[in-house]
Chain A
């Protein structure tokens, strides 16, 4: 199982990455893509949609099942990964390269607190292994 130490993780199997410009990129973990199997469809939030951390905002569908995605941090959607929409299997190939959406946090302090409340790679590995 690939769990990069540079990312933060939600128990619901999303990863979040704080970029140098203060935005946050969100995707699903390698463990999640493995559990879902062949991914064939993405439903992503609209750009400019405001999201609250924990809010259900996207759906990843594999041949097997549809899985709800919850944003791990709050903010406004500023971009979605159209390349992943067009080729959903890219998530199976590299779940950390094929991100889902990018957020601009409402304020840096809230964002830091929300990221701080997420799991680090060691803690997430334990969660994933216990499933």
Chain B
């Protein structure tokens, strides 16, 4: 009896499940068809108005009223057109035109999207607001921020502020409650103007480790002479990680104006530090650095040794110096390394 009951229950369960799946299947098929129609409308718009947009954005003609999008499919088409221009051409005038158009005709669609229950729709809207720099939405974003939003949405807000309202960005950066990863901060900082980024750098010790690391890395990428002295200051920091990163940053900027700063690090106890110095010396004349590199080529660490050899051979007189080294040195390991380095150099030619 018990088992019989089980069987009928199971049959019911299966029937219900199958029925639900069937409904779902129907829903998906309908959804697919809807999407197909949506895509066709979108493509039709792109087809019809690409020329008008080209005339407007590139050839400065007036825009006809017919290009104004009236539904979501058309908005998506406009987005596509705009994004392709923004990604492929960096032209302030085009950016301005897109911004102006979006401020007037796309804004309302994004206000609606920001109210969506779906996280992905809200995210897409935030992406577009940042892409098109829609600054007329700042008040809406202010109230959007007060809602219970996700970490990712908050990040997008950050991005938008950094582009459209730097003062607010700096304010938010001070009080940020959510921890983002270094790479996320880097993504934000790289967008900042040098002026704003300098302000962030000035506040270096005010921030968490993640932000500090991101500041160092971004400074290296921005390759502004201004940041060299700032990075050098960080070499005195107590944190080993900051020291190494600052050295790496200086190496990436690739300008060595004096070598005195780096000499103490040649005999650092940490091999990563010695490695970075061996790299940095590539940007200084070998006549100044050779004594130190000779010490580093006999280092106990493999990476340091081979980097020192590479740095020497990069120089015009590198091969000569290594050959001299081979004759005079006692360290068999280092001699072999020097020989291999020379061989590789000659083999590569």
| B is a partner of A | no
